[in-house]
Chain A
């Protein structure tokens, strides 16, 4: 089964800097990969989806890369703000709607 590794330690960065979060998967190359944001006591909220044949995806201040050789995705938040503080979950899928695997997430703290 797929295993996803995200840095379990919190990431603290200064406001205005770029935050970079890492997601490594260990087994099969997923058909697509997603990133979600989760605030304490709330359900995850979808941010971005990137397909296996895409190298990079952008949405406003967010950027996701997908390197199938390294088995890794990087999630970037540019010009970070305190409101970006949350836990970010990496999710892989082998395709379709059934087989999704969640990572444990990385907690991001943006310091004013």
Chain B
């Protein structure tokens, strides 16, 4: 089945220790997104790619970076995680059309000690 896969599902890191979360898709969608979601809050868009074009949200901290080496894979790098970065990180994909739904992965739960 076509899907969005995120690894790992659970990630524990130490304060200030860089961490990378990965996302892959078999849907062949042009657009990939990274969201941060904290408990009882709406998913917050961090950035998205249209193909290789990177689009950063204005309020995304510089601590968050992303790479998309090819259509299938996208990575979220947190350079120096703080306690406030503990959250669920969601990857999603969509077609680049006028009306389209987003397909989400299962998420990676990040814990910062």
Contacts and interface: CB of A to CB of B under 8 A. Distances in A.
A100 B102 CA distance: 10
Contact of B97 (A44, A89, A97): A97
B41 A104 contact: yes
Given A43-B90, A97-B50, A49 B95 contact: no
A32 B95 CA distance: 15
Contacts of B41: 104
A97 B95 contact: yes
B21 interface: no
B100 A43 contact: no
B1 interface: no
A97 B100 contact: yes
A101 to B, nearest CB: 8
A37 B109 CA distance: 18
A102 B101 CA distance: 13
Contacts of A104: 40-42
A97 B30 CA distance: 10
Interface in B73-113: 88, 90-92, 94-107, 109
B18 interface: no
Given A104-B41, A104-B42, A97 B31 contact: yes
Contact of A32 (B50, B91, B99): B99
Interface string A19-62: 00000000000011010000001111110010100000000000
Contact of B42 (A31, A98, A105): A105
B40 A46 contact: no
B45 interface: yes
Interface of A: 4, 8, 31-32, 34, 41-46, 49, 51, 89, 95-98, 100, 102-105
8 contacts: A8-B40, A31-B99, A41-B88, A41-B107, A43-B90, A97-B31, A97-B95, A102-B44
Given A46-B103, A105-B42, 7 more contacts: A32-B99, A42-B106, A46-B101, A46-B102, A89-B42, A97-B96, A97-B100
